[in-house]
Structure 1
Amino acid sequence: MTMSRAEMQKKARNTALACLGIVVGMTALAFAFVPLYDLFCKATGYDGTPLRGAAASGAVSQDAMVVHFDTNVAPGLPWRFVAETPQVEAQLGATKTVFFRVTNTGTTPSTGIATFNLQPGLTGGYFVKVQCFCFNEQTLQPGETMDFPVVFYLEPGIKADPNTRDLSEMTLSYTYFASKNGQPQAALATPAGTRAN
């Protein structure tokens, strides 16, 4: 049985529409993946993403862990960024506050946004940030200095988890990036000695 030309064209059109539908669906999934993955990490503490929550309300444990603070500034942002202390000893279940100082060392106003990570990644589900400056765009005038607090506590359950109970320290790492429209930019300026095409 031979297909007529009209039937072949209809079949080809249906195949093309199905392929187009798959491409559109895959593109939509690609765009949805990043925010969904971000929500998953924030909800579970996966891959070193600290949890967000209210102030600690449970009992304070006698156990403690050392929390190190690592501060970085990406190239292209003329800021100096330091923690008030390189580390603190935090009792499990007790709320701690640490201040971070940011100074614009440039000659023009600039805007930055901080991202963070917690290592080892397994500790993310037990590190709860009550208040943080991360992901909030900040604009500093030339020479301006601002102090930003991070308020956090460590869930006592970290010592009951067989994957984390032997850990005694963790590192909370922040990196400030130049920001544009609320998004971190790897480099906003063209490096010296190069020209845009």
Structure 2
Amino acid sequence: MATASASIAGRSLEQKNLRIGLMALVMAAVMVGMGFAAVPLYQMFCQVTGFGGTTQVASESDAAMAERLAASAGAPPISIRFDASTARGMPWTFAPEHTTDTVQIGTRDLAFYTARNNADVPITGAATFNVEPEQAAPYFNKIQCFCFTEQTLQPGEEMRMPVLFYVDPAALDDPNMEGVEQITLSYTFHRARNEDKPEGGG
């Protein structure tokens, strides 16, 4: 009888350990999956909320509606500062054509950046961006931008890169935007992830 009880207890312990082991494996798989999903989920969160200075993407119809609202509200002008940099190991020269511009809130504006490949091989780059101050990010809307896709420049090639944007007049109703007189739009060009570094030319 004692032997049977011990056998049952042993099987029960084995089943319990098996359940714990399976739960641990499931949790590990979930954590790995969350790790892979963290970056795109974070990017999606930033795009929706403007967190981390991430700008918004708008359509032409959105821009037209914003312009009508701004006109009816008598929206004031605001200063936009353009900033540019390249990541370490990126052999490009990259700069805005104009460092500042004054735009009417709600009105579309077109700015240009210039990039030049100083390497002796083609280089593909991808631009990251942010807006400061952070509370302005949800109201900074880009209709067209070179940052939406990767850019490839041939050796010595120079390219003008446009950004079509507007500042949403909804910013006028946000108390956190009170006193904000200038918004800074910053871009940093990095090598594309799937690209090998050239042997020469930077």
Query: Normalised by the size of structure 2, how large is the TM-score?
Result: 0.85
* CA-atom RMSD in angstroms: 2.0
1:114-150 alpha-carbon deviations (Å, 9 max, x no partner): 1101111110110000001114211111110111100
Q: Secondary structure at the match of 1:180?
A: coil
CA distance in 2 between counterparts of 1:137 and 1:168 reads 32
Residue pair 2:75, 2:106 contacting (<8 A) in 1 also: no
Give the greater-gyration-radius structure (CA). Answer: 2
User: Which of 53, 76, 80 pairs up with 2:93?
Assistant: 80
Aligned length: 186
Residue pair 1:84, 1:100 contacting (<8 A) in 2 also: yes
User: Which of 54, 60, 64 pairs up with 1:57?
Assistant: 64
Offset, 1:160? 1.4
User: Which of 125, 130, 141 pairs up with 1:117?
Assistant: 130
Q: Secondary structure at the match of 1:71?
A: strand
Which runs of 5 or more residues in structure 1 are unaligned? 191-197
Offset, 1:16? 0.4
The answer on 1:126 being equivalent to 2:139 is yes
- Over the matched positions of the two proteins, sequence identity in percent amounts to 37
Which runs of 5 or more residues in structure 2 are unaligned? none
The answer on 1:148 being equivalent to 2:155 is no
CA distance in 1 between counterparts of 2:117 and 2:169 reads 38
Offset, 1:65? 1.0
Amino acid of the structure 2 residue aligned with 1:44: T
Higher helix share: 2
1:71-112 alpha-carbon deviations (Å, 9 max, x no partner): 001121111111110011110110000011111112221111
| Range with greater deviation from structure 2 (119-128 or 58-67) | 58-67
